[in-house]
Amino acid sequence: MPAPAQDILSQYSYYLKVERGLSENTFKAYTSDVQAFQAYLQGKAWKSVDAEDITNYLISISDLLSKRSQARILSSLNSFFDYLIKEGERTDNPASMVDSPKLGQYLPTVLSIEEVYAILDAARNPRDRAILELLYGCGLRVSELCSLKISQLYLDELFLKVKGKGSKERLVPMAESTAEAVSLYLSERNGSDARNEDTLFLNRFGSALSRVSVFNLVKDTALRAGVSKNISPHTFRHSFATHLIENGADLRVVQEMLGHESILTTEIYTHVDSATWQKEIKDIISDVLQR
C-alpha cells in the first residue's frame, strides 16, 4: 500500500538532510519545490503523476520565475522521483522526460503582424478574442492577464492599470480594437462566484481563469489559424515589444509598458529586430547568387 503523500515528503526531507547531508539552503530549496508542486497537484497521488503534469506545472510558473529557477525546480523534482524509485513507490521518473529550460540569452519566437491577425480572427468566442487582444495589444504577462480586475480597466480612456512583478503598478495604453473586444466580452460575460466578482476572465465554472488554460487556448487558436510556430502566451508579449521597436518606439517607453525593472531586459527586442533584417539581407544575397 502506497505511503500517504505527507509521510513521503517527511521521509524525503529526512533523507535529504541526514542521508545525503545537503546544506541547509539546498535542503530547503528541494523540499519547498516539491511541496509547491504537491500543492499544485491538488491531491493527485505521486504514483499517478506523469511528465505532462510536470510540464503543465512549469508552464504555470514560467511567467513568475526565471529559467534558472525553473531549471532548479525540475532538478528538485528529478531528485524526488529518483527517491520514490529508490523507496519502491514508483518504477519510473517522469521528471527525467521533461526538457530543462534553456539558460542564457536567446532570441524569443516572434509572430509576424499577419500571424497575429490570423490568430485573433481564429478566436472561438468574444472571451478568447479579448484575451488574445490583451496579450498582444498590451503586452501583458499571462499572470497579469489572469489576475486582471474589471476595476483596473478604463475602456473609455483606452488604458488599463496592471499589477506586475513585485506588486508594482503600471499604466498601459490600449488600442480601440482591444477596448472594443473587451467591451464585447463584458457584455456577454457569465456570472462569477462571490470571490471572483471583479475578476475579468472566468472559466465556465465562474472561477478565475488559470495560466494553463490560457496556454492551451493560445496553442489551440494558433493551430486553428494555421500558425505552425511553437508559441505560448508570452509570444504575444515578445511580438508586441518587437513590433513597437520595429516601428520606432523608444526603448525606455517599451520598458515602461512591459514593466521591466532593467532596460537590459528590454534590449533583447533590439536583437530580435536585428536578427530579422540580417535574415532578410542573407535571403537577398542568396537570391542574387542563384541568378
Residues annotated catalytic, as ranges = 141, 165, 234, 237, 260, 269
CA 216/CA 221 separation, integer angstroms = 8
Torsion 204-210-213-219 (CA) sign: positive
Specify the DSSP element, H or E, that contains 159: strand 159-163
- The three-class DSSP label of residue 160 is strand
The answer to whether 252 and 263 have CB atoms below 8 angstroms apart is yes
- List CB contacts of 263: < 8 A, sequence separation 6 or more: 251, 252, 255
Query: What does each C-alpha distance from 8 to 15, 74, 89, 130 come to in angstroms?
Result: 10, 18, 9, 44
Q: Which of 126, 139, 145 is nearest to 174 (CA)?
A: 139
C-alpha cell belonging to residue 8: 513521503
Question: What whole-number distance in Å separates Cα of residue 239 and Cα of residue 235?
Answer: 6
Please name the helix (run of DSSP H) or strand (run of DSSP E) that holds residue 153, with its range, or none. Answer: strand 153-154
User: What count of residues does the chain have?
Assistant: 291
